[in-house]
Homo-oligomer: A and B are copies of this chain.
Amino acid sequence: MSIPTPYLLFLGDAPDALAAKVAQGIRDWRPEYAVGQFRLPGCQADMGLPDMSLTQARAAGARTLVIGVANRGGVIGTHWKKVLVQALEEGFDLASGLHTLLRDEEDLAAVARATGRRLHDVRVPSVRYPIADGVKRRGRRLLAVGTDCSVGKMYTALCMEREMRARGMSATFRATGQTGILITGDGVPLDAVIADFMAGSIEWLTPDNDADHWDLIEGQGSLFHVSYSGVTLALIHGGQPDALILSEEPTRTHMRGLPGYSLPSLEALRDMALAMARIANPACVVAGVSVNTKAMDESSARTHLAAVEDRMGLPATDPYRFGAGKLVDALAAL
């Protein structure tokens, strides 16, 4: 994969800030990759970056135009197309996590061939991954596992990476989803990998490393989510984590997209995930709890976190709201 950095962030005609959440992720987590933003008339999103033309961005060093906005209706409209074609002609690669693949657009594919530029569709694996061999690798690995999908596992890993680097620790966020790949420029689009190669793709993503280096692997799905649990288990067995972080969003009333399914307790998640992780790495431990408290006011959030710490005997924080310090302390103490 490896998308050339830095980026010009294409916000298109985003109707609101939420539609540009990929761009926001890059802005939040890899500001050094974001030299500027490109907006079309009517765009309602703003990353607080300089607005640049394609020529200006090239002059400022940008190498890839990243589509940082979701498209409506799954179609790449003509007003986007014009910019994308011009970007290829100006020497940019294009990167996208859209369901509609860049490579399937005949005009983009033709111009990319003619100009020698690359189209990075991060929804599609670009590597022939091996079948996992389960051999123990050097270096250390952390994985966040959730009571459900979309409870903040990616943000937990990114918050921890930032905190660990600030402390001079050696840590690398390893992306396993489209947004994470666009943020960091590299990774495995695990949900699009063929079943037999899932665990192997994660071994490939987190190879041997220095003894004190931490790979912070982006979690996916949940062992308790019947639609995606197999993906989660492949992450656990391919990742061989030394440490797990339990992740929850405590106000959710049922599993995401599964109205008939209630959420497991943190205790049930701990017991199941740890038993599974110890198959691949008998030394694995649970290091802490990450709670997504976005739906709670600050006082309720702090009360909830204190109760979780008391109940679980583990450090608990909302790493995005209150910092990842407690979780990193726990890793440092291992």
5 A-B residue pairings within 8 Å (CB atoms): A131-B227, A134-B260, A223-B276, A261-B279, A272-B276
A245 proximal to B (CB < 8 A)? no
- In the complex, the answer to whether A237 meets B226 with C-beta atoms within 8 Å is yes
Copies in the complex: 2
> B237 contacts A229, CB within 8 Å?
yes
Q: Give the CA-CA distance A89 to B231 in the complex, in Å.
A: 43
Contact across chains for A199 and B229 when beta carbons are under 8 A apart: yes
Which residue of B134, B135, B195, B276 contacts A234 across the interface (Cβ within 8 Å)?
B195
A238 is an interface residue with CB less than 8 A from chain B:
yes
A230 within 8 A of B: yes
CB of A129 to closest CB in B, whole Å: 11
The number of chain A residues touching the other chain, given as a range, is 35 or more
| Bound-state Cα–Cα, A193 to B134, Å | 22
Interfacial residues of chain A within 194-232, with CB under 8 A of chain B in the complex: 194-196, 198-200, 223-224, 226-232
Of B223, B227, B280, the contact of A132 (CB 8 Å cutoff): B227
A residues contacting B by CB (< 8 A) are 131-136, 190-196, 198-200, 223-224, 226-234, 237-238, 255, 257-258, 260-261, 264, 272, 275-276, 279-280
Query: Are A133's CB and B258's CB within 8 A?
Result: yes
Decide yes or no: A195 and B196 within 8 Å by CB, A133-B258, A226-B237, A230-B233 being known contacts.
no
A134 and B195 within 8 A (CB): no
Chain B residue nearest in CB terms to A227: B132
Q: Does the CB pair A280–B226 fall under 8 Å?
A: yes
A230 with B231: CB separation less than 8 A = yes
Query: CA–CA, A195 to B229, complex, Å?
Result: 10
Residues of B within 8 A of A260 (CB): 134-136
Q: Which residue of B lies closest to A131 (CB)?
A: B227
Bound CA–CA A260/B135 (angstroms): 8
Residues of chain B contacted by A261 (CB below 8 angstroms) = 134, 279
Task: Please determine whether A226 and B193 come into contact, CB atoms closer than 8 angstroms.
Answer: no
A224→B278 CA distance, assembly (Å):
10
Q: State whether B195 touches A193 (Cβ < 8 A).
A: yes
Chain B neighbourhood of A192, CB < 8 A = 194-196
